[in-house]
Structure 1
Amino acid sequence: MTLGVAMLVVGMNDQKTSALGPEGPLVEEFWDNMGIYSFYILPESTSVIYTIFQPILEILKNLVTAALIITVLGGKLFIVSQVISTMVGVSEFLYDYGY
């Protein structure tokens, strides 16, 4: 998928970018630079994702820590879903004041 996006960007690079504002050399330079910087977005984003998930995958290799992490994440997801459903008013939770 990364290679396909890179090939698409390389194929689009031979087109001249047009200014979207007042005509002038500075605006043309800006859009040319934006086209060049698009080449850097893909490697940077994939390296950030790899750097974030690599330690997590190392931790998940141990069965005990994997079960613990999955349990904690499942509990967090459950609590967040309950809080959001209560905030939106989807749940049947009623406050019963003992006055």
Structure 2
Amino acid sequence: MSETTGTTSRDGDSGALEFPEGHYTDVRIYPILGGPGSLSGGTGTFSSFGTFSAGQFSPGDLPRIGDHYNIMATHEGVNYNFSRWKCTHSGGTSDFREN
């Protein structure tokens, strides 16, 4: 497995994120300022419209909408860091967007 880490940046012409679309494994999510919404060993998907969806959060530890989270995930053997992403939907599967 590669230890390369992706970063958030935008392509000047298209505005596209450098994160690859598709399925992610070994998803780990940590609230930046503490509080609920930790996830370890989850799965996720990064969409073409810039949303990272991850789960399965336990009902007693859902992320809070508006709070910021650090997300680490693996896609095709490469580790990616989604630093300081904001929760936009909270549930068993929750959504996060770059802030």
What range describes the TM-score normalised by the shorter chain of this pair? Answer: under 0.3
Q: Give TM-score, length-normalised by structure 1.
A: 0.16
Query: Could you say which structure has the higher strand fraction?
Result: 2
Q: Give TM-score, length-normalised by structure 2.
A: 0.16
Higher relative contact order (CA 8 A, sep 6+): 2
